[in-house]
Structures are given as structure tokens and as C-alpha cells.
Structure 1
Amino acid sequence: MNTQDTSATNISASLFKFFKLGLFETLHAKSCSKPSTPRGNDNESPCGETPEKHCACLPETDNRKCKAGDRGKTGAGVTGSRTGRVCEKEPDLPAGAVNPGLLRYIHNAARYRLPQCFEGGSVSVKQSQRCNWVLGHTLSCSSVSPGGYKVLLSYVDKEKPSGLPYFVMEAAPGGQMSCEVRVGPTLSTRATVVAQIADAEFYSFESIFDAYFHSFTASIIAVNKEFIALHYLQAITEQVSLGAEVVARGHAVELSSASGAGRWATEDQSISATLGNRGLDLCYARVIRPFLTVAAMLEVGFAIRHAVATLAYEWRTEEWTVRGSADSDGLVGATLQRALGGKHAKLACAISALLNHPNDKFRLGFGITAAIM
């Protein structure tokens, strides 16, 4: 996958995702000073904060997942996703459990600092309804991704600590639709189905099953008829976790892969790595100040003989967040998220800028989101 294709895909996919449910809680959440959970406790989010403090990656009521089909520039397995920085609330396990979290989130401490750049303009409104339903509207215009009007319908049982069952649907007048459903068959398992429909047929279908145990996690991920992935991550100590990933592809057997993964994390820094027959992913994140976190990432694709190095930072306060990054392919991006009218306002704005030096192209985005409670 080349640089131009990846950057265009990330820009077109990020605009609407950025203005989905939970923007205000993200803006107003307490600064995530810990790059990664040192113990990987099951009662903590990958950011290192307990659910009572609200994980800065997402609010408690927003349980979106990293899409299993996301890829990094090197395509080094399911865990090699540059957009896989979103965390979700983990189930409550017995006291004393040392749970490392899910393997596909092993690099979140560093990749959460990457700016999610978008292009064009967007105005979004979300309105809370009774019976835990939320209705959202988005009007966008862009020269890269299809613009127009989109409607979002979401259901989260706010009275349950786990927020399950969870349902979200997005639809556009042109017939494009996506739907995600998550349930908890047991207290320590999660089952998710994600479907995308376009031109009256299934464009994508993902099924994910996650199991959380006392000291390890396991996942099964299937995407269309393309591949099935098996994940395993074991907590060795409070700071060290080791795991493995196996990806089996049906139509392109030569693209199947197997890799090992490891993570060492303390309260103020995290090092994670994934090494397999198709590539290497190496990530490092460190808290410089309570409001400033820096990160470095290296992705190497053995098959495509391509490597990408990225530097990123996040500067966060209670009212605004700035993220920026620059990589060896010549892409420089930054986003600014700002709450308008103060910390408790129900109005927020976001500005995005992305500069592609090799192609001499510049993308600018601006969006406003309002909440009606």
C-alpha cells in the first residue's frame, strides 16, 4: 500500500468518524497522563485511568472499536493499524486480576497521539432521546470523501456498568449504511458484528469475539471471506505482557502471517513491538509533562520493502487538545479540538491540517459539533 493511497483513505474515513458520538466527552475528559496501563488491569482502560475517571480515549458510553480490517502502511498484520488507537471499556473481572487488555490495542499508548486528520467542512448535531437512544445528524462537504447528509442512531444502556448491549447505525441518502452491534454473552466475553452496505450489497462484514481471563485475553476476528485472525496476550508481570497473532487468508495464502508481540509499560512510558514474517511494528510513548505526551513509531514491511518512521505528540488540557505528527514519507498533520464557551459547553469545534510534501498538497478541515441534551 503506497503513501498516497493510505493518506487519502485515512482522510476520507476520518471525517465522519471524528464527529460521531462522544466528541464532547473526549474534549472535556481528564488528561490521560499515563501512556499505557502498567498492570493492564481489567478495571482500567488502555489509557491507564479507571472507568470512574473516564478514559480519555473515549467516553464510557461510546464503545467503538478499532476496525479489524484497518491496516498500517506496511500491512504487517491486524495489529499493524495506524488508526487502531481507540479503546473500549473492559469487563469487570475478579479483584486481583492482572489482565493485559486486547492484543489489537497493544500499540494504543503511542498511536493514540496521532492526529486523525480530515478534509472539508462538517456540522454535526446529536440529540439524546429517552430510552437510552441518541439521534445524530451530520452535514459535510469534501473534495476527497463523499459529502452530504448522514444520520446516526445509537443505543447504549446507560444504567448498566458495561454499557451493553450496544448498537450504532449510520446511513446516508445514497444507500450507504453501516451498523455495529455488541453484546456480552457472559461477564467476561464480548461479541461484536460490524456490517457495511453499499449499492444494495454487503461491502464488508466483520465478526469479533473477545474473551477476558484472569491474566490473559484471547480474540477471534473474521473479516468477509478474506481472513481470520487469532489473538492471544498474556500478562507475565505487572509491567510485561507477551502475545501472538496468527492471520490466515483464504484467497491469498501467501499473505498469511504469524507474529509475536510484547509490551513493557510503566506509569509514564510504554514500549510495544510486533514482529512477524510480514513486518515489524515498534512503538514508544512517554509522558514528558502531565499535559504533554510524545510518541515514536516504526513500521517495516518485509514483503513490500518499505519502512515508515513517525514522530507524534499530544498537548492536552481540559478545554482543548492538540495532536501533531510527522513521518518519513513527508506527511505532516495536526488537529486542534476546542470546547467553545467553556468546559461545560455543549458546543465544540475542530480544525485539521495535513501537508503532503512529496505531492505538494495541503488539506484543511473544519468542523462544528453541537449537543442537545
Structure 2
Amino acid sequence: MSSLTPSGYRFGATYVGTHQYGPAESYPVLIGDIDPAGNLNANIYHRFNDNLVAKFQAQVQNNKYTASHFVSEYRGKIFTSALTLANIDILNDTGVAVAHYLQSVTKSIALGAEIAYQRNPQIPGGQIAVVSLAARYTGNDYTLTGTLGGAGLNVCYYQKASEQLQIGVELETNLRMQESVASVGYQIDLPKADLVFKGMVDSNWNVGATLEKKLLPMPFSLTLSGMLNHQKNQFRLGLGFVIG
């Protein structure tokens, strides 16, 4: 239900393979959903070995192939590298490629860099590249990260306050648009009640929350989510029911 788009429903299906890497981690994973108008979202996740993970996403809207997204990530002992390809169209010479590398310098400090490259005839010169630098500091129960590049500045702080409470603060600044957005989020876990509650609020007057409840002993899960913008008077409400 939404005040922005026509209300409706979607049908989803999930397949989980038998290639298991952990107690709750099996691959490949195929997830898809479709609505009565034929709009489709498809996701494929696969882990080839202990180091290499890949993800592919595709979207069909109004009977047209509108978006694709491929991510491959390699995790070494002291480094992580990733490659992202989005909306690659060789015929129209358009697409986005992003590569990043993160290296652990000490047990607490990691440094890295990212380069984003885009081709599009509508861009002056037909192409553009942006380089960003990243840093991460990891403490006993908190993490501080920062990214600085030509597009802007992003700073994020995460704190695990207790076994039940996690909080995070993020500041994102766009230097070209001269705009900044601050966000605060939290997560509350209640294992005895099989309940997880997540909430957020940002400086654009957006307020969101999600409630996830396991209906034990039945193999069902119930999810309620909502997003409200007080300034624009926009509201969205979602209901999810998972079997399995």
C-alpha cells in the first residue's frame, strides 16, 4: 500500500542450493518476484569457493529489460577486491563499471581506493571517471569508515551497544550539489521473543521502520515495514509473510 504508486501485490519465489559453506549459508540462491503487470525482479547469489562470491540482479519493467547489476568480490586474508558492472549495453555504448580495493594495514586500520567509470553519449566527452579514497577503523565493538572523492564525502559510525542494540550514524555530503544528508539508524534484537526491530530517520524528514517476527514453532516469518516523509506527506506500508 502506498500514497505514491498504485497499491498492489507481488508473487515471489526462492530457491536455495545444497552447496553449504556454513550453518545458515548455502549456495546458489535464486530469488525472484513478479507483479500482475509482468514487472520482474530477479537475483542470483553464488559462492564459488571460500574467497570468491558473485551476485547478479536483473529487472524488467513494462515488458522491457531496464536494469542489470553484476558484482564479484574476492576476499583474501588481509585484503578485499570487488568489481561491479551495471547496465552494460555494448550496442548503445553505455554502462557503469566500479572497481575497489581495500587493504588491512594493521589489525584495526584498513585503507583502500575505488574508481568508477561511466560511458554514455549524453555525458560531455562520452565518458567520465571518478576516483575515491576510503579508510576504515575497527574497534572492539565499533567501526568508523570514511570515503572521500570527487563526488563528495561519506562518514559512517557503527556501534554495537549491547547484545540487543546496534546503532549507526551516517553523514553523506555531495560537493557538486552542495547538499548533505545525515541519517541515524538502530536495530533491536530480542532473541527470546524471536523479534527484530529496525528503524531510521534522516535530515530529509524520512522516518522508516521494519519489524520481523518469527512465528515459532511454525516455519513462518512475518515482516511489517513502513516509510514516512513528513514534509512531502508521502507514506508507504509493506507486509511480508515468509514460509520456510
**Deviation, structure 1 residue 364:** 5.4
Q: 1:246 to 1:338 in 2, by over 3 A?
A: same
Alignment match of 1:279 (pick from 134, 152, 163): 152
**Structure showing the higher helix proportion among its residues:** 1
- Give 5+ residue unaligned stretches, structure 1: 1-119, 121-141
In the alignment, is the contact (CA less than 8 A) between 2:4 and 2:235 conserved in 1?
no
TM-score (structure 1 length as normaliser): 0.55
Q: 1:356 to 1:204 in 2, by over 3 A?
A: same
TM-score (structure 2 length as normaliser): 0.81
Query: Which residue of structure 2 lines up, in the alignment, with residue 331 of structure 1?
Result: 206
SS at match of 2:84: strand
The alignment covers a number of residue pairs equal to 229
Identical-pair percentage: 24
**Structure showing the higher strand proportion among its residues:** 2
Q: Is 1:166 the equivalent of 2:26?
A: no
Which letter does structure 1 place at the counterpart of 2:12? L
Which letter does structure 2 place at the counterpart of 1:263? R
**Deviation, structure 1 residue 349:** 3.4
Aligned CA RMSD, in angstroms, stands at 2.5
Listed one character per residue, the Cα deviations across residues 116-171 of structure 1 (whole Å, up to 9, x for unaligned) are: xxxx2xxxxxxxxxxxxxxxxxxxxx443454343323322235226233322322
Query: Which residue of structure 2 lines up, in the alignment, with residue 310 of structure 1?
Result: 183
C-alpha separation between the residues in 2 aligned to 1:181 and 1:350?
Answer: 22
**Deviation, structure 1 residue 273:** 0.6
In the alignment, is the contact (CA less than 8 A) between 1:301 and 1:307 conserved in 2?
yes
Query: Which residue of structure 1 lines up, in the alignment, with residue 164 of structure 2?
Result: 291
Q: 1:146 to 1:269 in 2, by over 3 A?
A: same
Alignment match of 1:233 (pick from 81, 102, 110): 102
C-alpha separation between the residues in 2 aligned to 1:366 and 1:185?
Answer: 34
C-alpha separation between the residues in 2 aligned to 1:368 and 1:180?
Answer: 18
Query: Which residue of structure 2 lines up, in the alignment, with residue 108 of structure 1?
Result: none
Query: Which residue of structure 2 lines up, in the alignment, with residue 154 of structure 1?
Result: 14
Which letter does structure 2 place at the counterpart of 1:154? T
Larger radius of gyration: 2
In the alignment, is the contact (CA less than 8 A) between 2:186 and 2:200 conserved in 1?
yes
Q: Is 1:365 the equivalent of 2:237?
A: yes
Alignment match of 1:190 (pick from 50, 53, 74): 53
